């Protein structure tokens, strides 16, 4: 007897004690089917081409409810995936006509609008799992969906009940912060060089950037603890490391070869250490010191950000807006924040997911700020450079860039002190 | 009528004056104004009852709809009136001079400057600039106090009133105590209402949230839970899970209005939300709005996009929360793909240049007006401003009061009908 999935069931989660995502359950379900196939068929309803406006969502809800009724009556299994995709796994006796009727009745474009129901139907793919090729295709799809889901869950992870907790938690943060107070800045700060690629593909160093290394912190004070990615506690940790960044920057030699950049948070700008640093370090108009400020601070405390920008520029520094993803320029009009430079964090997945609009927004930003003032960070592979070039970016930072520079890399490499 | 503010604070009058001065541009015919500088009087002469006595004569002109009176935070008075009553206004100002005749401000050179007269019709720009200067110090200092992290005074005040910022150690303790605490008494609800130009009000949905001040008193008195943004955001993720557990209880699910809850992106992508969604059942999501903060969304746009698609796919509506009204031109709301956007009212915007207003109006004009909510509206001035830029949905204490008044009126009306039927 097939088990009905949880959609619409108030008790359904009792059957899913592990509370996995529908994507994970679908993949596990398919893994149990032998490679030679099984006497099942599958209807996969997609919404990608329909968008997810309110009418589509209403239709999808009605369709889901209909599928669930079908599952109850005839024995089937329904998986409601992220983004509105439905996957209905049916036994051989589930009437296809009923499924077709449900698809037609709840079509995203209502027939009453004068649209032919047949042409306005949901985009669907039917799989016959008795055919090993169809089974493979569906397994492939399920794996991709599960991988997407896992990636995003990792990115936005919240420690949940029963999870093995080697993540950063408040107690571990308190422990690390306590040790940070006693450490030397050189132990946890790393440098990378920003290069500008000439048309001849020759890399020209243009900026040294110094930032706190989470790996170094983890290795010294919390071995085995995952300090990332991008949780609020990680941000709290980095804020508390600002003092070390400023202490480190104060000891840097005068920026006579190349400008240097440090990343701090907005709150650090009002500290005496920061003000000392800029008063001593930069001549008006030299642009020798680049102060990286997080986008979140700039948006959250706009007035303070603008004041900080003015203050930095009056002392000859430049402001770099950090912490943008490739999708950010489409979501925010970055030009209004008037940064001197912008750092976009590159990631192959994030870049691959970008639509034409988002790519155009990056290209527009590169024009507004200047192609030499947009830095693609995390350029650890050649693919980053190739991708950046297509959206008008000329400046890069990352391991691949460091390798390109090779022996001519002039930036001092710090942080070689032995672990505490 | 007398311009009063539901904000109650005198500074509300500064906002009202600015708003009124701006709107006056369309009704300049035969308008004049006088600025009476009661703030120059000795402190002993400008107590509240002195000011009340001084303006009592002008109030009668207000009652006859011949003028509008503003008593500012500084105790200065601005009276805008029709030409026809100029003689009476002159007499009233003379009365005020007489009333404070022994004050140094009314002797020597200062006496001339005690009252400044404006022919608004012929010099509207001069009037507007003067009113901006008059009202803006309060507005600007209120704004900078709130937003400047370098403002030591503001920081000290905050620390004294709300306690020291949360530390990681304390956060660990709070999280441990939250695991046992019953938060049901800390859940508050606030409606989002459609408000017409005539102040007809109709609730649209209701937001449920945890009262942070109450939570502070319960779990860690004397500590400012929101004092450290990152630690507070982490704490809200813990609270999210508790709220989800509470709201999916059957009695909470039977609310008549659609329900909105604030969640973090990470929570939407967690197993706790899957559990909540499972309990709601298919179609249950239809009446639920998930509010996600702008900062949380920007922190990881890729995770936000996944959470949004997942929510919308299941029938929830997604509301982008925490967008300051002044930041409306910054955020590409359409690109965020949300169903609703909640803009936070900022009274300081009244003092902004017309170009800033035009920009906000233009940006909001590009969004479906039915999808924009002006939140944290404490008084009439916020509602008027919202209407002026095309917004019809509002939330805030001012709206709560308006709704309560409306309910009371309806109740009285029903009572009256019952009494009539009995007789």
B359 vs A: CB within 8 A: no
Q: What pLDDT is attached to residue A28? A: 86
Would A160 be classed as within a structural domain? Answer: no
Rounded Cα–Cα distance for residues A78 and A84 (Å): 12
**Res. B159 pLDDT band, cuts 50 70 90:** low
**Res. B111 pLDDT band, cuts 50 70 90:** confident
Q: What pLDDT is attached to residue B151? A: 54
The ipTM (two decimal places) reads 0.72
Rounded Cα–Cα distance for residues A378 and A192 (Å): 10
Bridge partners of residue A41, in order along the sequence: A90, A128
Verify whether the Cβ–Cβ distance A65 to B282 is below 8 Å: yes
Q: Looking at CA atoms only, how far is residue A395 from chain B in angstroms?
A: 23
Bridge partners of residue B195, in order along the sequence: B201
CATH number at residue A210: 3.20.20.450
Q: Which of residues 335-374 of A touch B (CB under 8 A)?
A: 336-337, 349-350, 353, 357-358, 361
Verify whether the Cβ–Cβ distance A13 to B275 is below 8 Å: yes
B152 vs A: CB within 8 A: no
Contact B166, B227 (CB under 8 A): yes
- Predicted confidence (pLDDT) per residue in B346-396, tens digit: 888 877 777 888 888 888 888 888 899 999 998 888 898 899 888 999 999
Verify whether the Cβ–Cβ distance B148 to A304 is below 8 Å: yes
Contact B367, B346 (CB under 8 A): no
**Res. B191 pLDDT band, cuts 50 70 90:** very high
Bridge partners of residue B78, in order along the sequence: B35, B70
Chain B residues close to A269, C-beta within 8 Å: 150
- Predicted confidence (pLDDT) per residue in A105-150, tens digit: 777 654 444 444 444 577 888 888 888 888 888 888 888 888 777 7
pLDDT at B163 over 80: no
Of A155, A188, A214, the position where a domain reaches its end is: A155
Q: What pLDDT is attached to residue A199? A: 80
Annotate A250-273 with b (16+ C-beta within 10 A) or e (fewer).
eebeebeeebbbbbbbbbbbbeee
DSSP B181: -
Q: What pLDDT is attached to residue B248? A: 65
- Predicted confidence (pLDDT) per residue in B131-153, tens digit: 888 877 655 554 444 444 445 55
Same domain, A121 and A251: no
Would A266 be classed as within a structural domain? Answer: yes
Q: Looking at CA atoms only, how far is residue B236 from chain A in angstroms?
A: 10
Same domain, A148 and A183: no
pLDDT at A55 over 70: no
A417 vs B: CB within 8 A: no
How far apart, in Å, are the Cα atoms of A110 and each of A60, A107, B285, B383, B421?
12, 6, 22, 38, 49
Q: What pLDDT is attached to residue B10? A: 37
Q: Which of residues 88-147 of A touch B (CB under 8 A)?
A: none
Signed CA dihedral, A111, A114, A118, A121: sign only: negative
> ∠B203-B206-B211 over CA atoms, to 5°?
135
How do beta strands B288-293 and B340-344 pair? unpaired
Only one residue has tokens 């609008």, namely A113
Contact A399, A382 (CB under 8 A): no
Q: Looking at CA atoms only, how far is residue B322 from chain A in angstroms?
A: 9
Would A4 be classed as within a structural domain? Answer: no
Would A222 be classed as within a structural domain? Answer: yes
Would A419 be classed as within a structural domain? Answer: no
Same domain, A245 and A105: no
Rounded Cα–Cα distance for residues A303 and A149 (Å): 37
A19 vs B: CB within 8 A: yes
Chain B residues close to A302, C-beta within 8 Å: 147, 324, 326-327
Pick the CATH number of B167-415 from 3.40.50.720, 3.20.20.450, 3.30.428.10, 3.40.109.40: 3.20.20.450
A13 vs B: CB within 8 A: yes
Chain B residues close to A149, C-beta within 8 Å: 306
pLDDT at B263 over 90: yes
Bridge partners of residue A289, in order along the sequence: A260
Q: What is the mean pLDDT of chain B?
A: 85
Same domain, A149 and A174: no
Average pLDDT, stretch A6-31? 57
Contact A373, A341 (CB under 8 A): yes
Same domain, A128 and A220: no
Contact A143, A64 (CB under 8 A): no
Rounded Cα–Cα distance for residues B398 and B380 (Å): 7
Q: Looking at CA atoms only, how far is residue B17 from chain A in angstroms?
A: 24
Same domain, A134 and A231: no
Reported residue count of chain A is 420
**Res. A10 pLDDT band, cuts 50 70 90:** very low
Q: What pLDDT is attached to residue A154? A: 59
Contact A323, A345 (CB under 8 A): yes
Indicate left, alpha or beta for A51 from its phi (over 0: left) and psi (-120 to 50: alpha).
Answer: left
Average pLDDT, stretch B322-330? 91
- Predicted confidence (pLDDT) per residue in A345-399, tens digit: 988 877 777 888 999 999 999 999 998 999 999 998 888 998 998 899 999 999 8
Nearest to B171 by CA among B134, B118, B215: B215
Rounded Cα–Cα distance for residues A394 and A203 (Å): 10
Rounded Cα–Cα distance for residues A124 and B290 (Å): 29
- Predicted confidence (pLDDT) per residue in A92-109, tens digit: 888 888 888 888 777 765
Same domain, A89 and A18: yes
Same domain, A193 and A67: no
Rounded Cα–Cα distance for residues A315 and A387 (Å): 35
Q: What pLDDT is attached to residue B267? A: 94
Only one residue has tokens 């982490």, namely B234
Contacts of A177 (CB under 8 A, 6+ apart): A237, A240, B168
Same domain, A364 and A265: yes
Contact A329, A357 (CB under 8 A): no
Same domain, A108 and A232: no
Q: Looking at CA atoms only, how far is residue A202 from chain B in angstroms?
A: 33
Chain B residues close to A232, C-beta within 8 Å: 230-231, 233-234, 237, 299
Contacts of B272 (CB under 8 A, 6+ apart): A158, A160, B240, B241, B244, B245
- Selecting from B168, B270, B326 the residue whose C-beta is nearest the C-beta of A158 gives B270
Would A417 be classed as within a structural domain? Answer: no
Rounded Cα–Cα distance for residues A270 and B148 (Å): 10
Would A371 be classed as within a structural domain? Answer: yes
pLDDT at B17 over 90: no
Of A128, A155, A182, the position where a domain reaches its end is: A155
- Selecting from A80, A82, A300 the residue whose C-beta is nearest the C-beta of B306 gives A82
Percent of chain A past pLDDT 90, that is, above it, reads 25
Structural domain of A44: 12-155
Same domain, A358 and A276: yes
- Predicted confidence (pLDDT) per residue in A59-94, tens digit: 777 788 788 777 777 878 888 887 678 899 988 888
Would A416 be classed as within a structural domain? Answer: no
How far apart, in Å, are the Cα atoms of A85 and each of A51, A188, B140, B196?
11, 45, 50, 40
Q: What pLDDT is attached to residue A4? A: 28
Verify whether the Cβ–Cβ distance A152 to B269 is below 8 Å: yes
SS3 A183: coil
Rounded Cα–Cα distance for residues B293 and A333 (Å): 18
Q: What pLDDT is attached to residue B160? A: 63
Task: Tell me the domain boundaries of chain B.
Answer: 11-146, 167-415
Q: What pLDDT is attached to residue A8? A: 27
Only one residue has tokens 């990881």, namely B300
Reported residue count of chain B is 423
The structural domain count of chain A equals 2
Average pLDDT, stretch B14-36? 86
Bridge partners of residue A287, in order along the sequence: none
């Amino acid at each position: 007897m097939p088990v009905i999935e949880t959609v619409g069931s108030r008790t359904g989660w009792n059957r899913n004690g592990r509370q996995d995502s529908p994507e994970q359950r679908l993949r596990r379900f398919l893994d149990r089917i032998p490679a030679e196939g099984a006497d099942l068929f599958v209807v996969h309803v997609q919404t990608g081409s329909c968008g997810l406006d309110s009418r589509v969502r209403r239709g999808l809800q009605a369709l889901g409810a209909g599928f669930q009724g079908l599952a109850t009556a005839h024995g089937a299994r329904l998986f409601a995936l992220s983004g509105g995709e439905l996957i209905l796994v049916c036994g051989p006796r589930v009437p296809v006509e009923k499924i077709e009727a449900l698809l037609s009745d709840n079509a995203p474009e209502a027939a009453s609008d004068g649209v032919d129901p047949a042409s306005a139907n949901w985009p669907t793919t039917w799989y016959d799992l008795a055919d090993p090729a169809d089974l493979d295709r569906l397994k492939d799809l399920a794996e991709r969906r599960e991988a997407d889901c896992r990636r995003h869950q990792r990115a936005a992870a919240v420690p949940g009940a029963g999870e093995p907790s080697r993540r950063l938690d408040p107690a571990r943060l308190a422990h690390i912060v306590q040790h940070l107070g006693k450490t030397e800045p050189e132990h946890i700060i790393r440098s990378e060089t920003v290069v500008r690629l000439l048309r001849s593909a020759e890399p020209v160093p243009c900026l040294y950037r110094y930032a706190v290394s989470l790996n170094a912190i983890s290795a010294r004070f919390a071995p085995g603890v995952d300090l990332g990615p991008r949780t609020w506690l990680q941000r709290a940790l980095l804020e508390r490391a600002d003092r070390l960044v400023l202490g480190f920057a104060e000891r840097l030699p005068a920026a006579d070869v190349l400008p240097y950049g440090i990343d701090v948070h907005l709150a650090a700008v009002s500290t005496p250490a920061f003000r000392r640093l800029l008063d001593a370090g930069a001549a008006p108009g030299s642009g020798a010191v680049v102060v990286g400020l997080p986008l979140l601070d700039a948006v959250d405390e706009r007035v303070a950000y603008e004041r900080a920008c003015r203050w930095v520029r009056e002392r000859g520094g430049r402001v770099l807006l950090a912490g943008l993803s490739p999708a950010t320029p489409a979501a925010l009009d970055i030009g209004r924040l008037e940064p001197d430079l912008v750092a976009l964090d590159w990631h192959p997945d994030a870049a691959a997911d970008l639509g034409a609009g988002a790519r155009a927004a990056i290209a527009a930003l590169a024009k507004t700020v200047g192609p030499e003032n947009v830095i693609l960070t995390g350029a650890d592979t050649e693919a980053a450079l190739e991708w950046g070039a297509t959206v008008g970016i000329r400046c890069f930072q990352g391991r691949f860039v460091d390798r390109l520079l090779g022996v001519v890399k002039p930036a001092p490499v710090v942080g070689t002190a032995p672990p505490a | 009528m007398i311009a009063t503010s539901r904000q109650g604070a005198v500074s509300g009058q500064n906002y009202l004056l600015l708003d009124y001065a701006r709107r006056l541009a369309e009704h300049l015919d035969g308008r004049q104004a006088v600025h009476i500088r009661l703030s120059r009087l000795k402190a002993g002469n400008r107590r509240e009852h002195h000011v009340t006595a001084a303006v009592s004569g002008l109030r009668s002109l207000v009652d006859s709809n011949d003028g509008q009176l503003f008593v500012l935070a500084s105790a200065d008075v601005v009276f805008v009136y029709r030409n026809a009553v100029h003689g009476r206004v002159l007499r009233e100002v003379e009365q005020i001079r007489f009333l404070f005749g022994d004050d140094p401000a009314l002797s020597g050179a200062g006496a001339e400057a005690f009252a400044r007269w404006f022919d608004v019709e012929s010099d509207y720009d001069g009037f507007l600039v003067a009113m901006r200067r008059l009202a803006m110090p309060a507005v600007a200092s209120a704004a900078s106090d709130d937003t400047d992290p370098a403002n030591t005074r503001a920081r000290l005040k905050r620390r004294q009133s709300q306690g020291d910022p949360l530390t990681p150690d304390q956060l660990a303790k709070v999280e441990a105590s939250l695991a046992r605490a019953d938060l049901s008494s800390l859940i508050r609800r606030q409606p989002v209402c459609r408000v017409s130009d005539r102040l007809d009000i109709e609730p649209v949905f209701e937001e449920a949230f945890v009262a942070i001040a109450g939570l502070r008193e319960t779990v860690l008195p004397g500590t400012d839970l929101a004092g450290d943004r990152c630690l507070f955001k982490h704490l809200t993720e813990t609270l999210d899970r508790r709220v989800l557990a509470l709201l999916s209880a059957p009695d909470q699910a039977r609310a008549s209005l659609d329900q909105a809850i604030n969640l973090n992106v990470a929570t939407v992508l967690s197993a706790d939300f899957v559990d909540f969604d499972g309990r709601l059942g298919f179609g249950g999501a239809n009446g639920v709005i998930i509010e996600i903060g702008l900062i949380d969304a920007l922190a990881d746009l890729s995770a936000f996009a996944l959470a949004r698609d997942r929510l919308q796919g299941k029938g929830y509506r997604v509301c982008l929360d925490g967008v300051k009204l002044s930041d409306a031109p910054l955020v590409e709301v359409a690109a965020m793909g949300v169903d609703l956007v909640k803009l936070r009212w900022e009274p300081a915007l009244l003092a902004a240049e017309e170009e800033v207003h035009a920009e906000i109006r233009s940006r909001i004009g590009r969004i479906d007006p039915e999808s924009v909510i002006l939140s944290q509206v404490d008084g009439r001035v916020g509602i008027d401003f919202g209407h002026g830029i095309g917004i019809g949905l509002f939330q805030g204490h001012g709206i709560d009061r308006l709704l309560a008044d409306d309910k009371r009126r309806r109740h009285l009306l029903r009572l009256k009908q019952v009494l009539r039927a009995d007789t």
